[in-house]
Structure 1
Amino acid sequence: VIFIPVGLVTLRASHSVIAHSLALVVEIVKRYDIGCVHKPFRINKVLYIQDDSIPKNCSLSFKVPKYMKAPIDIYYQLDNYYQNHRRCGVFHLMGLKEELKVNRKNIAWKSDWEHKFGKNVYPFNFQNGTVIGGGKLKPRIPLSDQEDLIVWMHTSALPSFQKLYGRIETDLDVDDVVVVHLMNNYNTFSFGGKKKLVLSTTSWLGGKNDFLGLASCICLYRFFFGNLCRCYHAPTSTVSK
């Protein structure tokens, strides 16, 4: 029975922010992979993305639908992408450059950049192969300081996932115009993937995240019906003298 209130509370909390009169979490999602392909190349998007001579720079412009209180998380999202199978994506680094000031620090787990990724390890020979991904590592900067790589290296179990890129530390008001400059480098067209930019405020569970609430409800369902079936199929015993 305890799963019922836990599930309801976490579902409700995932859509609320601890600020601004408990306003709902505001999330802006913009797909850009196709829109950033120049029109003459849209009949053959794979050729476009693989041709290094074609500029891949692109700009997105959109209005803020609701007040967004800082900090505002910036994610890049990939759909239909099996990260645990497509190892060529390990060094995929987005080329996002926000007109607003973006904080790129503390986006990775502290235990990772303090212990797991070495301060004395430099990726000068990490990308000597033919497959690089969307961007290049900085060979003169230690791995512990390349937090976007650390974030990427946490493999997702699902084919659609978001990776934290940075945070905007300025509130955004309704109808504010946000301009994002990016490089549309990484090839998702070959496997039918999608690339999206996500801006999101947070609740005490993070951004929009129904996983905990849904997981609690699923646990309740399995517990209730599992025990019901167990009782129904319980064998009868006879006592013989």
Structure 2
Amino acid sequence: MSDNQQQKEDKTTFLHAFKQQIMKAWQPVPTLNSTIIVFAILSTIFLVFGIVLVVFTNKILDSKVRYDTKCSTINYPNSDAGVAPAICTIQFTVTEDMESPVFVYYELTNFYQNHRRYVKSKSVVQLQGDSVSYSDVSNCEPIIYYSDLRKYRYVPSNLKDGDYAWPCGLIAASLFNDTYTLLDPSNNHVPISSTNIAWPSDKSTKYKNKDMTIQWTNVEDERFMVWMRTAALPDFRKLWGRIDQKVPAGTYTVQIANNYPVDSFDGTKSFVLSTANAFGGRNSFLGISYLVMGIICFIILLVFIFKKIRQNKPKQQKEN
């Protein structure tokens, strides 16, 4: 038999075995000892990772002040006149020195950004700065035109009701628009930068302005990009800015342009200063999850160990 014929025969055999699902495979049969070893390894890994994450999380410094109950006046702009918004002033205490970078967050509660209709209510084509047709913005329903957007927020009068809202959709329409000015204990202004707070992939490929004369907001603003990344849980923090200098302990003042109402969804809002580590910001959920899985695996491990001990007892009794 020639080499070509042998190769064809081998190929035919392989295809037949693949189609009939009779290919050679490793089919391990778990034993009591191997199961004990597997769960011992899993419980050790989960518990070690959980403890490390919890320890690192507890080292993160965090200072939060809720202000929706203290800033009762909401700014509702209703004209194109340049009227300065009412400013709400709140003081809070930073108990320990925070090394740079210090991250500035706003925290919202009871806001369900994970609702299916809310998540899909945007136009990817439009956000990338391309010309759009109705089919491109149809997913933005119920906010497709500026007449729809005006039901939710203020829109400059030069933008016509019959034009497509740019950007359209529920996510953009609910954009968080409170602003903050931070003053240190000596009443000096603390600079808060809005650069390098969005994902690099978002900045490079996903958002581009079309024409600011037809847009109601700047889609290349990194705070807008952060908002457009919907949160998985109803209580969440989103990055508003970063402070690239040390924040010493002391009493600080934050001046808030209180523009964002939360009464409609029975929510709360807070201003947060926080440091970070290699695992990100302060979030104990992942560490606790690892600990819970480690404990579950350890309990299962004890069950199998107990079963092995009971199996060995009759053997020992027979030998005696």
Letter in 2 for 1:74: V
Q: Choose the corresponding residue for 1:113, options 186, 203, 207.
A: 203
Asked if the contact 1:30/1:197 (under 8 Å) is kept, the reply is: yes
Shift of the 5–222 alpha-carbon distance from structure 1 to 2, 3 Å rule, reads same
TM-score, normalising length: structure 1: 0.71
Q: Which residue identity does 2:51 align to in structure 1? A: L
Offset at residue 62 of structure 1 (A): 2.2
Larger radius of gyration: 2
Letter in 1 for 2:87: N
Matched length: 199
Task: Provide the aligned C-alpha RMSD in A.
Answer: 2.9
Q: Distance in 1 between matches of 2:293 and 2:280?
A: 22
Which structure 2 residue ranges, 5 or more long, are not aligned?
A: 1-43, 119-169, 183-188, 306-320
| Distance across 2 between alignment mates of 1:182 and 1:83 | 24
Deviates more, 1:204-213 or 1:188-197: 204-213
Counterpart contact for 1:103–1:166, Cα < 8 Å? yes
Q: Which consecutive aligned stretches of 4+ in structure 1 deviate over 6 angstroms post-superposition?
A: 226-231
Q: 1:11 aligns with which of 54, 57, 60?
A: 54
Q: Which amino acid aligns with 1:192?
A: D
Q: 1:77 is matched with which residue: 107, 121, 133?
A: 107
Contact 1:74/1:200 (8 A) holds in 2: yes
Q: Distance in 1 between matches of 2:67 and 2:199?
A: 28
Between Structure 1 and Structure 2, which shows a larger proportion of helix residues? 2
Query: RCO higher in 1 or 2 (8 Å CA, sep ≥ 6)?
Result: 1
What whole-Å deviation, never above 9, does each CA across 1:120-161 have from its counterpart, x for those lacking one?
Answer: 53465455xxxxxxxxx24xxxx3x31001000111110100
Q: Which runs of 5+ in 1 are unaligned?
A: 17-24, 39-47, 128-136, 232-241
Counterpart CA distance in 2 for 1:153 and 1:227 is 44
Which of 14, 29, 53 is residue 64 of structure 2 equivalent to?
29
Matched, 1:65 2:100: no
The code of the aligned residue for 2:202 comes to D
| Alignment partner, residue 180 of structure 2 | 96
Sequence identity (%): 33
* Correspondence 1:147 to 2:222: yes
Normalised TM-score (structure 2): 0.55
The whole-number CA distance in structure 2 between the counterparts of 1:214 and 1:125 is 47
> How far, CA to CA, are the matches of 1:113 and 1:5 in structure 2?
36
Q: Provide the residue aligned with 1:214 in structure 2.
A: 288
